C-alpha cells in the first residue's frame, strides 16, 4: 500500500485530493525586492528628468534630454529620431535601422558598428524604444538590463507627452500669430482699397470685391482716368503691405503715359525682395469712348460689343516683379455705346466644384467667356458670375469689374458680306451717326471704303462689321473682318497723287486719322480709327 502524500489534502469532491504547490520563499522575496528596486529606480530616474521635460520647448532640447536620460542609465551614446529625421548626430550604422514597432534590446554580438561610427568595431548592445512620432536609441555598452529597458520605456512615454505639449503650444502660437496677421491684413486692406468706384463720365461701372478668408492681394483702384485691377501673389499681411505700396505708387504712375513702366520701376525691387509678383489689368478710359487696355500677366480682359460679339485682350507682358517692364503701351479700342469691358481676378476662373469627381477641375476661362457674352450690363455681369459660382468653392480672392459705354448715346453697327457691291452703305452708316454735314465725314468715308476694299481683295474677308459713334468734331470707328491676318498700318503709302492700291488710299487713311491701330484676336482683324475734322 502506497503511503499518502503529506502535501495532499481533501479535494472538493469525495475521493479527490489536491496537491499544494511548493513555495520558494527566498525567490518570492528576491522578486519583490527587484520590483521595489525597479520602482525606486523609476521614481528617482523620472524625478531627475521631469523638471527638464516640463521645460521642453523645441526638438533640440528634446535631443539633449535624451542624452541626459542616457547618462542616468550609464550609457555613453544616444540619439533621437523625430518626425522623419535624426535630431542631431547619428552614426551611419544607426541611420540604416528601420523604426522599431516595439521596445527591444539587441545584443552586442548582433550589432555591427563599422565606419563612420567613431568607436568602430567596438562591441555594443542597442536599446531602442518607439513612440508615435519617432524613437530613441541608446548604445555604447555591452549589455542592457531589463530594468534599464523599463526605465527607457517610462522615459519615452514622458518624452512623447512633452513633445505633444510642445506641438500643441506651437500650433496655438502659430494660430494666434495667424489671427493677428489676418486682423492686421484686414485693416491694411480696408484702409487702402476703395469701397466703391465712381462711374467715369459717359460710362456705367460695377465692381464686386470678395476677399478670401486670408485676405490675399486682390485690389481695384481708380486714379484719374485709370481703372486698375490687380492681384499680388501671396496671402495675409505681406500681400496687404504690397497692395498698400501699389496704392501709394499709383497716383504718380497714373500721371504718366507708361503706367506699367512707372509701376515696375517703383515696385520691381520690392516685389523681387519679397519673392512676390503682381498681375495687372488696367483701363485708361476717355470720355469720347476710347479705352487703352494694359494687361500684365492677368486673365484676359473681355470686350462684349452691344450686339453680343466677344473679343479678348490677352496679356501683353509678364507680371510685375518677374522682369523689369517698360514700353507696354497697351491696346487702343473704342467702346461704342452699349459696349462693355470686363475684368476679373483668377478667383473666378479657378473656382473649383464643391462636389467634383475630377481632381483639379475649375470653372475655367471658357465659362467666364460665356458669362461675359451673355451679360449686357455691368451689374448683369456680376450677377451672372456670382450665379455661376453656386456649387463652386472660391479658393482665392474674387474681384469683378465691368465698365460700359452709355448705351443711350447714338451709334451704328453695320455688317456686310465680303463683296464690294454694298460699299455705299458704309457712307450711309457714317452719315446716320455723324450727320450729313459733319466736318470729318468725307475723310472717314474715303478711308473706311479703302480699308474695306483692302480687306476683301487682299485679306479674303467674307464678313465685315463697321461700328461707329461720333461727336461734333470727331468720328470713332471700329472695323472688323474675318479675313487672313493683314496689318495695313504697316504697309507703305505711296506719295500723294500716285493712284494705286496700298498707295494713295492708305495715304488718305493716314492723313485723315488721329489714331489708326490694328490688332488681331480670335481670328478677327480689328482696326481702330479716330477721324478728326481737317485743320483749316
Q: pLDDT class for 214, splitting at 50, 70, 90?
A: low
pLDDT at 67 over 80: yes
Residues 215 and 236: their CA atoms lie apart, in Å, by 5
**Is the predicted pLDDT of residue 3 greater than 60, yes or no?**
no
Residue 494: per-residue pLDDT: 58
Q: Pick 508 or 201 by higher pLDDT.
A: 201
Q: What's the pLDDT score for residue 12? A: 40
- Tell which residue, 456, 455, 481, has the closest CA to residue 466: 481
SS (H, E, C) 291-359: EEEEEECCCCEEEECCCCCEEEECCCECCECCECCCCCCCEEEECCCCCEEEEECHHHHCCEECCCCCC
Query: Looking at residue 443, what is its pLDDT?
Result: 93
**Average of per-residue pLDDT across 155-169:** 88
pLDDT score recorded for residue 19: 38
Q: Which helix (H) or strand (E) holds 284?
A: strand 278-285
> What pLDDT sits at residue 434?
96
| Average pLDDT estimate for 203-214 | 87
pLDDT at 21: 43
Q: Would you tell me which CATH number, out of the four given (3.30.565.10, 3.20.20.70, 3.40.920.10, 1.20.1050.10), belongs to the domain 412-532?
A: 3.30.565.10
Q: Are 233 and 278 in contact, with CB atoms under 8 Å apart?
A: yes
pLDDT of amino acid 135? 96
Q: List for the chain the helix, strand, coil content (%; round to 5).
A: 35, 25, 35
Per-residue model confidence (pLDDT) at position 150: 87
Mean pLDDT of 362-390: 96
What residue segments make up the domains of the chain, in order of their start? Answer: 27-168, 193-405, 412-532
Domain 27-168 classification at class level: alpha beta
% of the chain residues with pLDDT over 90:
54
Per-residue confidence band for 264, with pLDDT thresholds at 50, 70 and 90 = very high
Task: Look at residue 350 in the predicted model and tell me its pLDDT.
Answer: 92
- pLDDT (0 to 100) of residue 28: 45
pLDDT exceeds cutoff 70 at 512:
yes
Q: How far is CA 214 from CA 109, 144, 194, in A?
A: 58, 54, 19
Query: What's the whole-number mean pLDDT along residues 316-327?
Result: 92
- 279-289: average pLDDT: 96
CA angle 316, 376, 410 (to 5 degrees): 95
Comparing CA positions, the residue from 381, 339, 385 lying closest to residue 364 is 385
pLDDT of residue 195: 79
Alpha-carbon 201 to chain mean position: 35
The predicted pLDDT at position 120 comes to 47
Q: Is the pLDDT of residue 326 over 90?
A: no
Contacts of 147 (CB under 8 A, 6+ apart): 34, 37, 38, 41
CA dist 138 and 159 (Å) reads 15
What is the predicted pLDDT for the residue at 43? 58
| pLDDT top residue among 322 and 25 | 322
Query: Cβ(129)–Cβ(69) under 8 Å?
Result: no
**More confidently predicted of 16 and 442:** 442
Encode pLDDT of 241-261 as tens digits. 888 888 889 999 999 889 999
**447: pLDDT confidence band, cut at 50, 70 and 90?**
very high
- Cβ–Cβ under 8 Å, residues 296 and 271: no
- Rounded to an integer, the average pLDDT of 57-83 is 91
171 CB neighbour count, 10 Å cutoff: 10
Topology annotation, domain 193-405? Phosphatase 2c; domain 1 (3.60.40)
- Asked if the model's pLDDT at residue 186 lies above 80, the reply is no
Report whether pLDDT(216) > 90.
no
Higher pLDDT, residue 122 or 339? 339
Residue 268: pLDDT above 80? yes
pLDDT at residue 493 in the model = 63
Radius of gyration for the alpha carbons in the chain, expressed in angstroms and rounded? 41
What pLDDT sits at residue 27?
Answer: 53
Q: At what angle do helices 146-192 and 236-253 cross, to 10 degrees?
A: 20
Q: What is the mean pLDDT of the chain?
A: 85
* Cα–Cα dist 394/348, whole Å: 7
| SS3 track for 491-532 | CCCCCCCCCCCCCHHHHHHHHHEEEEEEEEECCEEEEEEEEE
Among the residue ranges 2-6, 48-52, 71-75, 380-384, the one predicted with the least confidence is: 2-6
Amino acid at each position: 500500500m502506497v503511503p499518502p502524500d503529506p502535501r495532499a489534502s481533501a479535494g472538493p469532491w469525495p475521493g479527490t485530493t489536491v496537491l499544494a504547490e511548493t513555495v520558494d520563499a527566498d525567490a518570492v522575496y528576491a522578486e519583490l525586492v527587484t520590483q521595489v528596486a525597479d520602482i525606486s529606480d523609476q521614481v528617482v530616474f523620472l524625478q531627475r528628468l521631469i523638471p527638464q521635460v516640463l521645460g521642453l520647448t523645441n526638438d533640440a532640447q528634446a535631443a539633449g534630454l535624451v542624452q541626459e536620460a542616457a547618462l542616468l542609465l550609464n550609457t555613453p551614446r544616444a540619439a533621437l529620431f523625430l518626425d522623419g529625421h535624426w535630431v542631431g548626430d547619428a552614426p551611419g550604422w544607426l541611420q540604416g535601422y528601420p523604426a522599431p514597432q516595439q521596445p527591444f534590446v539587441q545584443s552586442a554580438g548582433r550589432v555591427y558598428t563599422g565606419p563612420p561610427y567613431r568607436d568602430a568595431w567596438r562591441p555594443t548592445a542597442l536599446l531602442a524604444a518607439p513612440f508615435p512620432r519617432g524613437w530613441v536609441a541608446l548604445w555604447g555598452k555591452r549589455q542592457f538590463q531589463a530594468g534599464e529597458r523599463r526605465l527607457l520605456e517610462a522615459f519615452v512615454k514622458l518624452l512623447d507627452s512633452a513633445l505633444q505639449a510642445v506641438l500643441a503650444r506651437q500650433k496655438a502660437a502659430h494660430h494666434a500669430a495667424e489671427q493677428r496677421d489676418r486682423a492686421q491684413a484686414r485693416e491694411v486692406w480696408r484702409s487702402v482699397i476703395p469701397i466703391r468706384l465712381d462711374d467715369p463720365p459717359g460710362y456705367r461701372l460695377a465692381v464686386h470685391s470678395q476677399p478670401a478668408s486670408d485676405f490675399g492681394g486682390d485690389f481695384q483702384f481708380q486714379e484719374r482716368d485709370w481703372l486698375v485691377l490687380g492681384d499680388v501673389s501671396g496671402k495675409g499681411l505681406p500681400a496687404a503691405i504690397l497692395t498698400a505700396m501699389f496704392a501709394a505708387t499709383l497716383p504718380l504712375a497714373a500721371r504718366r503715359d507708361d503706367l506699367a513702366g512707372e509701376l515696375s520701376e517703383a515696385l520691381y525691387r520690392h516685389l523681387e525682395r519679397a519673392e512676390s509678383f503682381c498681375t495687372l489689368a488696367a483701363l485708361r478710359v476717355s470720355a469720347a469712348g476710347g479705352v487703352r487696355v494694359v494687361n500684365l500677366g492677368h486673365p484676359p480682359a473681355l470686350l462684349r460689343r452691344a450686339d453680343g460679339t466677344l473679343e479678348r485682350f490677352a496679356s501683353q507682358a509678364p507680371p510685375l516683379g518677374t522682369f523689369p517692364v517698360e514700353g507696354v503701351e497697351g491696346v487702343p479700342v473704342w467702346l461704342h455705346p452699349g459696349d462693355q469691358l470686363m475684368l476679373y481676378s483668377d478667383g473666378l476662373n479657378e473656382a473649383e466644384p464643391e462636389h467634383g469627381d475630377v481632381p483639379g477641375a475649375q470653372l475655367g476661362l471658357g465659362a467666364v467667356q460665356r458669362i461675359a457674352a451673355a451679360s449686357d450690363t455691368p451689374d448683369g455681369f456680376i450677377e451672372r458670375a456670382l450665379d455661376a459660382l453656386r456649387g463652386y468653392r472660391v479658393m482665392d480672392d474674387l474681384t469683378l469689374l465691368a465698365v460700359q459705354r452709355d448705351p443711350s448715346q447714338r451709334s451704328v453697327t453695320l455688317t456686310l458680306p465680303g463683296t464690294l457691291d454694298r460699299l455705299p452703305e458704309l457712307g450711309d452708316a457714317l452719315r446716320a451717326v455723324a450727320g450729313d454735314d459733319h466736318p470729318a465725314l468725307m475723310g472717314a468715308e474715303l478711308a473706311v471704303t479703302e480699308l474695306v476694299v483692302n480687306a476683301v481683295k487682299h485679306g479674303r474677308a467674307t464678313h465685315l462689321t463697321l461700328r461707329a459713334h461720333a461727336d461734333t468734331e470727331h468720328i470713332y470707328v471700329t472695323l472688323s473682318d474675318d479675313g487672313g491676318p493683314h496689318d495695313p498700318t504697316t504697309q507703305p503709302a505711296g506719295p500723294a497723287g500716285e493712284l494705286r492700291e496700298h498707295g494713295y488710299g492708305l495715304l488718305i487713311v493716314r492723313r485723315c486719322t488721329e489714331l489708326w491701330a490694328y490688332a488681331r484676336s480670335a481670328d478677327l482683324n480689328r482696326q481702330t480709327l479716330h477721324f478728326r475734322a481737317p485743320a483749316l
